[in-house]
Chains A and B, each alone.
Chain A
């Protein structure tokens, strides 16, 4: 079917060329106008070899999505108002209708990346040459070997040379073994064994498993694989520890606010997750606002959102405490039901205001991607959340230990009547403490908006985990919350790779229940008379 289509197309092209002598002729460009990716790919390779200024311009236009095909195989570079004939470079007027972008898929992107890498190999900046060598390292394309040899012969910068050698070794090894290539392959195995990493391991494992390979090469590859495996295992333990810490820090952020409202005040606040959700929506609003007013500040909108979310959520918290919670002190069941109802109301309000679908909170460039640290891959947004969680916890400790509000809060928790008799206005302290808890949830919302989806349901996925952390850590103890968050995070990430995410979740829940059975007050129980009542 597709073959037939291609034949028809070619026939049409030839016919068009023969009869009208129009722009459609079978040249290096003609494949670009084809609906078959195979033809597009062939055309790109031909154009790269062609090397003329027009061929380069066409390839660059293709990368930038500026290359279009017309009705009769004519090709245009159409960027903004400018329109050129891609074959000749002449300025022309693009047809109004029937202009289709040249089709690109992953296969074409890959071919283009290869072409670009070949171009970059002779770039004046060493960074670009390194980037090109890194592309070749993962490509293993035999056709690129001459280009690599050529580049190696003229390369002076040691860092680039190193990368080129790696790419060369990988490309050599990826080819099927040939007569007389044994020495070269053995050398390549030794080189890749030094490089290490997943990519090298994959190649070497392929060599070790290949029966057509010379025995000593296979043997060398095999021992290299086991050495790399050992390294990878060590790094993967560290990597998992980082994942655990990062997951723990998200739990910690979600739970600190609850540690105040539930842990210190004893209010079962089921709407805690919704405060996080509102924090995330505030982040989005701040981003949109800054985008419209001061676009230059856009990358830092997330930082501005932090205090805004704290104030907005804290304010909402105070309002909730004054209008609802204060009538329910000492009645945990009613509090639970009322706040649960409140959580549904808040969800539906947000759903009505912003729609039920996810909203796109932007991740600024400085929070995207990852940095490699030895064999570790540290994703920047997770690292930022880890640091942020630490700062929030530290800040909260300071507030509780070093400010009058903290002192009064602790006094009210320990003995409400005594505190009142000493002249502390307990209703005000209650309202501020609840507001503080809600504000902290808002901060968690800002952080979570960077890793999770922001929809009215956001809070629901965190509320159970937050309660688990607070109860497990010991109600009323911030250090306990920290320890519990990290223990649950680490535990989850240690179990996940071995028994799967679903079973890990169940196992953690069972372990926590078993622990709470034996130690009902959690890991770090608060002792004292005030708590008993």
Chain B
């Protein structure tokens, strides 16, 4: 298990340590690069709004680290517009109202040119009014439930049609086992509820009957899965091929998988497709009983491309932990940050309105191949991969979408939103445009 002692000292020493570690990093890798001109002038501030304490620290601390790495790298390449980038790290401590407060501080006190942050949907919902009021820019790096399209937020994670729908398509296919019966298991909050609403309506359109769909919700941090796993087992023994779709969040996953293993459920009998389990979560588990369980993401550490290999190498060198894993939201931040750099360069200024307008259409190569493009609804085009858990805690990709999938802010599988689109270009300039009635519901968000 990697120790993260360097993080604390870096945080504690703040900018000084950051600068020195950036210098050390630059020194380590610098030999191969032509050193760019040292950036001068007033620094451009980049806000980092990730929980470093509390329940979400487990996931979000990594994203803070990757942002610091990207910013250090950019400064080494000569900064942005000839000016240095300065990270402003705040800790919203997994406390949703505190997210809004810290966002307000980043925008009005620190005057951050862009903010990279949030993990849970509730934290994003809590900062959204602040970003719209103060006209800030937020890059949100996590797969989410969709049904939102704000002018001030760029959604660099997957929308449901870039994760959930392709994942279910795989389960329905011959290679995925041809499932005819589905247990949708999730934590009780907005992301699983919305995703499952979309999935139920999608499954029905594929001819799955009502009685072949089971939906179950559990509280946050559920640790006793005995009854629910035995319910799933009974549901799966009805003579039809059954699959489980899991939107279980965070910490609750480990006891869930442990219980599956203990009750003798293997992936060949009852595959579990997870949307919130990545390399980080697996780091805390013995994955031998889980071999073959599935996850759908837009990035896997195991994908073998030169760009990904370079990114992983850079990450290991930066964190000084040769085994620290990379994951999907990290790639989302990588793409989002580089797109923002391009947009600022294109606009020639960090003015929020000009950068927001410059963002649409920006293209940035993915780490896993293909090019991500910022769409008019502030979502990205992404490849979708299905990975199977291996005994070394990594995923092996067993399926990928043939082409990049453009993200849809509004789901066509939900009756109320099937006609809605987001398009922040002129002349529509609307996040919830009804393409049937040709009206904009509101010029703010939904």
Contact = CB atoms under 8 A, between A and B. Distances in A.
Given A247-B226, A496-B228, A106 B267 contact: yes
A358 interface: yes
A195 to B, nearest CB: 13
B348 interface: no
Contacts of B314: none
B201 interface: no
A493 interface: yes
The residue among B227, B231, B268, B396 with the most chain A CB atoms within 10 A of its own CB is B227
Contacts of A363: 258, 286
B175 interface: yes
A240 B239 CA distance: 24
Interface stretch (A13-21, A122-130, A198-206, A416-424): A198-206
Contact of B217 (A138, A352, A369, A502): A502
A201 B174 contact: no
B10 to A, nearest CB: 11
B190 to A, nearest CB: 14
Interface residues of A, number: 68
Given A105-B292, A107-B174, A500-B217, A360 B3 contact: no
Q: Is the interface of A mostly helix, strand, loop or mixed?
A: helix
B353 interface: no
A501 B218 contact: yes
A381 B262 CA distance: 8
A171 to B, nearest CB: 13
A1 interface: yes
A397 B284 CA distance: 36
Contacts of A109: 267-268, 292
Nearest to B55: A457
Contact of B53 (A106, A138, A347): A347
A455 interface: yes
Nearest to B228: A501
B322 interface: no
A460 B56 CA distance: 13
Interface string A332-361: 000000000000100110011111111110
> Chain B: interface residue count, which band?
35 or more
B338 to A, nearest CB: 26
Interface string B203-224: 0000000000000111101111
B196 to A, nearest CB: 14
Contact of B284 (A1, A236, A454, A501): A454
Contacts of A501: 216-219, 222, 228
B402 interface: yes
B30 interface: no
The residue among B1, B218, B285 with the most chain A CB atoms within 10 A of its own CB is B1
B58 interface: yes
The residue among A348, A356, A381 with the most chain B CB atoms within 10 A of its own CB is A356
A243 B226 contact: yes
Given A239-B230, A353-B5, A370-B263, A500 B216 contact: yes
Given A352-B4, A356-B61, A502-B219, A497 B231 contact: yes
A387 interface: no
B286 A360 contact: yes
B264 interface: yes
B55 A460 contact: yes
The residue among B174, B216, B284 with the most chain A CB atoms within 10 A of its own CB is B284
A453 B282 CA distance: 11
B398 A103 contact: yes
Contacts of B285: 358, 360, 453
A203 B231 contact: no
Interface string A255-296: 000000000000000000000000000001000000000000
11 contacts: A109-B292, A358-B285, A369-B261, A379-B263, A381-B262, A382-B262, A457-B54, A493-B226, A493-B227, A501-B218, A501-B222
Given A381-B258, A461-B221, 18 more contacts: A107-B176, A109-B267, A198-B233, A198-B234, A198-B237, A243-B227, A360-B283, A360-B285, A360-B286, A368-B261, A370-B262, A377-B264, A379-B259, A382-B226, A451-B258, A451-B259, A455-B284, A457-B54
Interface of A: 1-2, 37-38, 103-107, 109-110, 113, 138, 198-199, 201-203, 205-206, 236, 239-240, 243, 246-247, 250, 284, 344, 347-348, 351-360, 362-363, 368-370, 377, 379-382, 451-457, 460-461, 492-493, 496-497, 500-502, 505
Q: Which 5 A-B pairs have the closest CB atoms?
A: A358-B284, A453-B254, A198-B237, A202-B239, A355-B4
